[in-house]
Structures are given as structure tokens and as C-alpha cells.
Chains A and B, each alone.
Chain A
Amino acid sequence: MKYVDEYRDGALARSLSAAIAAEARPDRTYAFMEFCGGHTHAISRYGIEDLLPANVRMIHGPGCPVCVLPIGRIDDAIRLAMRPEVTLCTYGDLMRVPASRNGSLLKAKAAGADIRMVYSSLDAVRIAEANPDRQVVFFAIGFETTTPPTAIALKAAEAKGLANFTIFCNHVLTPVAMRAILETPAAAGEPPIAVEGFVGPAHVSTIIGTEPYRIFAQHYGKPVVIAGFEPLDVMQAILMLIRQVNEGRSEVENQYIRAVTTPGNLAAQRLTEDIFELRDAFEWRGLGIMPKSALKLRDAYASFDAEVRFAVETQPAADNPACECGAILRGWKKPADCRLFGTTCTPETPMGACMVSSEGACAAHWTYGRFRAHEKTSTAPVRRAS
């Protein structure tokens, strides 16, 4: 596949692996966080851990929008969907996320709720247009990457004069969460926060550009290398981070120059700014309530706001107290350290944020890497057949 295979080349991976092994100093360890679920997935899916020396550790961050959506908001969506007049449109990966009282959108659908899986925000607008007697609610989630498509759907509905289309907005912001990870003090008895640098977001950065990460390099002294989601991108970014650490630099570098520019996508930023404003606070599953970390519709667009039209009042819902997602998302613990992992908590029956989507740290480890839990960390890759 042209323009994709080039970034998954095994021979290039081996030479990058050798360069990382040569440049990583044997007398110390390195701990980097890949913020995005897309990177976590690439690391797990391609077995990148097998290509890194044992003293380079990757911490899987909270950058998976499905994972960090709090249970209370899923409950809200289910309540909306159960209203007889409502058709709820959602991206497919939210369907199975467990809500309170053992519920989920999938179960609500089976119980009669009109829930449609869509692949694009504009599909929801089309459904609203085709069903003028239904109240169509678009369950909008995601980081800065999926916010502009939600804005475009709103603009399309406005242009068509649709009075039956609203948005249940759950868009959240990347840099705020990165800061929270660095600022949260280690809990009593926990080792101090280990993150020494970030593999920076790929798609998010195409929208917001490189500037919002400067604070991490300058104020917190943590290097950031913005990287694409292909496995070679990730390996190259890890090499760039090791070089920064070794040379005592902390800068924002852009490995993903084929897509990310310094200012980002200004048209998308303007559109987002026009329609959305900061919420005072928003709960992130696994990380808790964070101020100014999410977006809501501006008052001017209140007629498109499902929270206004249906008077949504989110009720907090707690995770299982034994769930270690908060510590795992901050790099204090590894998935296998959690006593729920692989016992009561699996991708079929997820208990916490890190297991609900394949991009979550625990789900990725369970799905792709759990053979390592029983073997030494430096497991050699399996031998080729034939």
C-alpha cells in the first residue's frame, strides 16, 4: 500500500532499533509517555517493545477519547437515547462502553432505544434531515481532531435550517491533560512521576500546531516530539527523545512534518473558536475532574445543544475502587500491577478507562502483549515461519 508500507518497513525498523540501542546510555533508564491512543496502538500492534532496549520504557497516556469519557456521560447518552422522541447517533466504539448499573448503549439499543452508529458527524445531519419528526442527537466525543467535524456538522444543520438536530458535546483538550499528568503529585507511597518526555500527538497537532506544547519543553523541562501514528514514526520519535535527554535539551520537535505545521490548521481553529468555549471543569475517567479541560457550545448555539434542549444533568458515577487506571495513566503502575487486570477486567468486561477501547493502555497490553507478562521483558520476537 503506497504511502503506508513505507512507514512500516521492517528493515528500517531494525536500523532504527539499532540506533536507539546504540544511543540509549546503558547506565540509566528512559521513561517516555506516548500521550495518544493511536501511538499506544501502534506500539502494541507492531510489537515495538521488542525493538527497544530494556532500559527504554514507554508509558501509555490518556489520549483515548473513549477511555477518558466518564461513566456519567455515557449514562446521560443512554437516558437521551431512551427518550421516545430521540434518535441518538454515535461513533461505533462507544456502543460497548459500560455505563452505570451494567448498562451500555448496545444494551439500550437492544431494549428499544433508537441508536444509530455513524462513521461521520455529517451522517447524523443526514439522518436528522431524513427524519424531521425525530429529535436527532449527535454524541460528540474526541480531542481537538474530532472537534472541527462536529463544528462542521453544526454549521451544516444550521444551513439546512434543521430544528431537530442537537449535539451532546464531550470534546476535551489535549494540553490540559498533559499538564495534569505532570502536575499531579505522586500519591502517598507511590514513586514519583516518571515521565521524562512526550511522544506528542499526531492528528491533534495537525489541528493545533506545535505551539501549545512549548510550555512542556520550557516550563516543565520535558522534551516533546510530535510524531505520526505509523510504527516507524514512533521509533524515530523515541530516538529523537533519547537524543534530547542525552544532550540535556528540552525542545518541541516535529517528527511528523508531512502533516503538522507550526501554526496548525487555522481554518479549523477559527471554526472551533466560533462555536465552542471552555467548560469550567470536566471529569476525565481515570484522571478526575480537571478545570478548563473540555469544550461546550457557546450560548449563541444553544439551540443546537442537547444539554440545553433536554436539560441534561450529569450524575457522577464512580469506577470500581480497586481500578488502578489513574495510576496507570500517569505511569506509576503497569497494567499487570492491577489486580482487576485480566481477571474481572478484560476487553469484554472492562472495569476502567484503560480497558474500554483497544487504544487504552490495559486493552492494548491484554490484546497484543500479554504473552510478555509471563516471559522476561526482553522477549525475542517470535521466529519467522518457513
Chain B
Amino acid sequence: MTAQSPIKAFRRKLDLRNGRVDMSHGSGGRASADLVAQIFRDAFANEWLDQGNDQASLPLPAGQRLVMTTDGYVVSPLFFPGGDIGSLAVHGTINDIAMAGARPLYLSASFIVEEGFPLGDLDRIARSMGAASRAAGVPVVTGDTKVVERGKADGVFISTAGVGVVPEGIALSGDRARPGDAVILSGSIGDHGVAIMSSRENLEFETAVLSDSAALHGLVAAMVAAAGPSLRTMRDPTRGGLAATLNELAHQSGVGFRIDEEAVPVRAEVAAACELLGLDPLYVANEGKLVAVVAPEAAERILGVMRAHPLGRDAALIGTVVADERRFVQMTTSFGGGRIVDWLSGEQLPRIC
């Protein structure tokens, strides 16, 4: 170790207006340090990140179970109505933790940045991520940055991890749905997917639809407090939409679902956009909704608590769990007939999150 220089180290300010990420920003040298200090440390500022080590040293509440998740974000475009890749990464990771009935504590974020990416855009993404994390009360405590040559990535990819703790007596799992259970959806479906599609380069259309991207741990905490032991399982219907989530749960629990199409909330603008694009809202991604399977006797109470929360205002009872060894998700259509709601076949829309 050399003695600290009496002369203050010269720090060149990043040119956030016109500057671009170049290979030196990923080299581990001065440019890397400047990038981390001026963009990420600033945006995420918290006591653990400020420790400045290669790892964050964290206190853990005693006597609770730890949950951990990891997630990658490759959404295109990076900025979309109602959010951007930064806020989406925070919300998505928090939601994966929260679906266990857990309280999210800490996040990590790893950035893979393409050479030539505007520094201003990176700064905007980091600030949005920081704001989302502060609003949620879940800090980004450690991170990493890599730069790859032009053409080897598409702007920015973000990988996250999240940890949280589950209160005692709460044991949610996808294999716990039982015939007779009630199925609750926290609000309207398809908003995120339609918002992304409306801003895709080759598909631009005018719509007022914003992504529903939001952190759901507050809503979940209210549900857990009201009826924790009655919650069988929760899942956020992201890629593949409500249809994929219900099919996953049907398979995991070895049951069937009966859903009432009329009870599933879909915004008129979303329905119209789906109509135009030939999509079924049941398969369109969400980033701020959850599906809860709950004991039937607790359904009304849980629904009441959800509707009292801003992110669950439109919560609805959409169906029930039934015994079915074929594990079909069946739906009464608004038209009065019956149909299966199958797994999505193929890709409806790539890079939605």
C-alpha cells in the first residue's frame, strides 16, 4: 500500500450529454472507477454500497427463512411508456421475492453494457433504478459493470439478484393449490406487453397504455398480515401472461382451474390493441400483477385487503381450483361457451422483460 497522496485525485467528469461507453469503461482501470462512482454509486447511494467492497456485508433478521432469486433483463426498447429497464429490474426482482410472502431486503445489479451506448442513457437508467429501489425501500447493495464490443449486446442488459425473509408460519408454494381454493387476480392484465409493443420500432401505434411495472411487496405484506396462513401460493404473471401462470400452477399442484373470462379485468385500450395485433390478453405479459390461490373461506377477506391497496384496487375473484388429473385450465368465455386456456405455443413477443 502506498501512502495516500496529499494531492486530491483528478476526476474527469463524465460527459453525460454526448459521451458514450467505450471499452475502457469496462477495463477495471480509472475509467471503470469513474463510471461506477459517477453513475451507479450516485444513483443507488446507500450505506452498504458505500462500503465500497467487492461484496456487501449485511445484517440478517434472526429466526426467519431466507429467500433468494435472480433475474435477467433484456427488454427492448430500454425506455417504454410507464418505465424503463432499470425500474423494471427492481420491480421484477422484488416481485419474485414477494411472491413467497417474503419481505425483500437487498438487491444486486450487474450491468452488461454495449460499447457505444450513450452515457446519458446509462445515467438515466441508473437513476430510475435508484429511484425505484428507494421508493420500494429495498437498496441495491452490490453491483458489477462489464462492457462488451459493439454488436455483442443490445444497449444494456441487467442481471439482478434479490434476497428477502419469510415470516414464520408463512409457507407459499406452487404445489399447494387444492380443489375448492379461490383464484384471485390483483388487477387488469396485458398492460406491460401492450405498452412495450406500442413502442416497438416496427410496430409503433398510439396508445395511452402504460406498463403496470410496480413493486408488489407492499400489497403482499398487507395480504400476509390479513390472512397469511390462508395463502396457498402466489405468482406474478409475467412472460406468457395469466395463461402461463395458471398452467404452471396446475402442473405443480396436479389440479385444474376453472376461470370465468368475464371476471378477468382487461382495460379497454389493452383489449383494443390486442384485437388489432391478433393477441389474446391472457398471454400478454404483466409486471405489476399477481395471482393468488387462497383458501375459499379467506377469499373475501383477502380480496377486501387487496382492494384497499392502490396496487390491488381492481382485484377480482376470477375462478376456482378443481380436481382434474389432466391439469387443464378451462375457461367459460364471455360468449357462454367453454374453452381451454393452454400454454402459449411459441413466442408471442420476444424480449418483453
Interface on A for B, CB 8 Å cutoff? 1, 4, 8-10, 13-14, 17, 44-51, 95-96, 118-119, 123, 231, 347-348, 358, 366-371, 374, 379, 381-386
**Considering the chains assembled together, what is the distance between the CA atoms of A8 and B271 in angstroms?**
13
Interface on B for A, CB 8 Å cutoff? 183, 202-203, 258-260, 262-263, 268, 271-272, 275, 280, 317-320, 326, 328, 330-340, 342, 345-346
Task: Point out the residue from A4, A46, A48, A385 that lies within 8 Å of B320, measured CB to CB.
Answer: A385
Q: Are B345 and A46 in contact (CB under 8 A)?
A: no
CB distance from B348 to the nearest CB of A (A): 10
Which residues from A are CB-within-8-Å of B268?
A: 1
**Considering the chains assembled together, what is the distance between the CA atoms of A369 and B326 in angstroms?**
13
19 contacts between A and B (CB under 8 A): A1-B271, A8-B334, A10-B336, A14-B336, A17-B336, A46-B335, A51-B335, A118-B202, A368-B340, A369-B339, A382-B331, A383-B332, A384-B260, A384-B332, A385-B183, A385-B317, A385-B319, A386-B263, A386-B317
**Considering the chains assembled together, what is the distance between the CA atoms of A348 and B262 in angstroms?**
29
Q: Are B338 and A50 in contact (CB under 8 A)?
A: yes
Q: Are B340 and A370 in contact (CB under 8 A)?
A: yes
Which residues from B are CB-within-8-Å of A382?
A: 258, 330-332, 338
Which residues from A are CB-within-8-Å of B320?
A: 385
CB distance from B197 to the nearest CB of A (A): 10
Q: Are B202 and A47 in contact (CB under 8 A)?
A: no
Q: Are A13 and B336 in contact (CB under 8 A)?
A: yes
**Considering the chains assembled together, what is the distance between the CA atoms of A180 and B301 in angstroms?**
61
- Asked, given contacts A374-B326, A386-B263, whether A50 binds B337 with beta carbons under 8 Å apart, the answer is yes
Q: How many interface contacts (CB-CB < 8 Å) are there between A and B?
A: 100
CB distance from A101 to the nearest CB of B (A): 20
Which residues from B are CB-within-8-Å of A44?
A: 339
Chain B residue, CB-CB nearest to A348 = B345
**Considering the chains assembled together, what is the distance between the CA atoms of A123 and B202 in angstroms?**
8
**Considering the chains assembled together, what is the distance between the CA atoms of A9 and B337 in angstroms?**
12
Most chain B Cβ neighbours within 10 Å, of A14, A118, A386: A386
Q: Are A358 and B345 in contact (CB under 8 A)?
A: yes
Q: Are B202 and A49 in contact (CB under 8 A)?
A: no
**Considering the chains assembled together, what is the distance between the CA atoms of A336 and B268 in angstroms?**
37
Task: Point out the residue from B203, B272, B317, B338 that lies within 8 Å of A381, measured CB to CB.
Answer: B338
Which residues from B are CB-within-8-Å of A4?
A: 271-272, 275
List of 9 A-B pairs having minimum Cβ-Cβ separation, nearest first:
A47-B337, A46-B335, A347-B345, A50-B337, A385-B260, A368-B339, A381-B338, A385-B319, A47-B338
Q: Are B342 and A385 in contact (CB under 8 A)?
A: no
Q: Are B335 and A379 in contact (CB under 8 A)?
A: no
Which residues from A are CB-within-8-Å of B258?
A: 382-383, 385
CB distance from A55 to the nearest CB of B (A): 18
